[in-house]
């Protein structure tokens, strides 16, 4: 069940970022990019998420997951094609030699952090 490790890695990174924004900061939205070939089971991730983030800065965060589909470049004929599984052959020449272009992403794209009491409030008198 490596999805729990994945969540704790996400949480650790998010906590580091939130600390820079002062006390009372929370994550409102977190955007993840997990490719369809990344080896992560999204249903497991979703199942574990609420329990794993309870009591943390991610507890109330909305988690958006972008799922880039697999795309490969054939090592034999150069054809670029959609790939669901590593063992899918090139539809043009049948070769299994391929290079994955997309679909292995495993990334935190962005965090939206809200801070009730801004650490630094900049007031500008425009008069």
Partner 1 sequence: MCTTCGCSGNGHKLTAFAAFKKPASTAGITLEGPGVMVEETPVTNYSPAATLTAPAPTKTVVELERDILDKNNRLAERNRGFFEARNILALNLVSSPGSGKTALLERTLADRGDRQRFYVVEGDQQTARDAERIAAGGAPVVQINTGKGCHLEAEMVRQAILELKPASDSILFIENVGNLVCPSLFDLGEACRVVVISVTEGEDKPLKYPDMFRSSQLCLINKTDLLPYLKFDLEALKNYARQVNPALEFIEVSATTGAGMETWYEWLERKAREVCI
Binding positions for partner 1, rule: CB under 8 A = 1-2, 4-6, 8-10, 12-13, 16-17, 21, 28, 32, 34, 39-40, 52, 85-87, 89, 95-97, 106-118, 121-126
DSSP code at position 24: T
Residue 21: CB partners within 8 Å, gap ≥ 6? 113, 115, 119
CB of 89 to partner 1, least distance (A): 7
**Considering beta carbons, is residue 34 or 58 the nearer one to partner 1?**
34
Ramachandran region of residue 103, left (φ > 0), alpha (ψ -120 to 50) or beta?
Answer: left
CB of 51 to partner 1, least distance (A): 8
Q: How far apart are CA 111 and CA 62, in angstroms?
A: 10
Q: How far apart are CA 67 and CA 52, in angstroms?
A: 21
Q: How far apart are CA 125 and CA 77, in angstroms?
A: 65
**Considering beta carbons, is residue 52 or 58 the nearer one to partner 1?**
52
CB of 43 to partner 1, least distance (A): 14
**Considering beta carbons, is residue 92 or 95 the nearer one to partner 1?**
95
CB of 91 to partner 1, least distance (A): 14
In the numeric block, which tokens belong to residue 79?
A: 């054809």
């Amino acid at each position: 069940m490596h999805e729990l490790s994945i969540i704790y890695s996400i949480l650790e990174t998010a906590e580091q970022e939130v600390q820079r924004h002062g006390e009372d900061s929370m994550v409102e939205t977190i955007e993840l990019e997990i490719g369809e070939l990344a080896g992560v089971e999204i249903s497991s991730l979703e199942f574990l998420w609420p329990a794993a983030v309870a009591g943390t800065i991610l507890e109330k965060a909305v988690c958006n997951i972008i799922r880039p589909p697999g795309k490969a470049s054939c090592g034999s004929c150069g054809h670029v094609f959609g790939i669901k599984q590593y063992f899918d052959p090139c539809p043009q020449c049948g070769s299994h030699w391929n290079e994955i272009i997309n679909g292995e992403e495993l990334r935190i794209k962005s965090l939206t952090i809200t801070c009730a009491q801004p650490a630094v409030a900049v007031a500008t008198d425009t008069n």
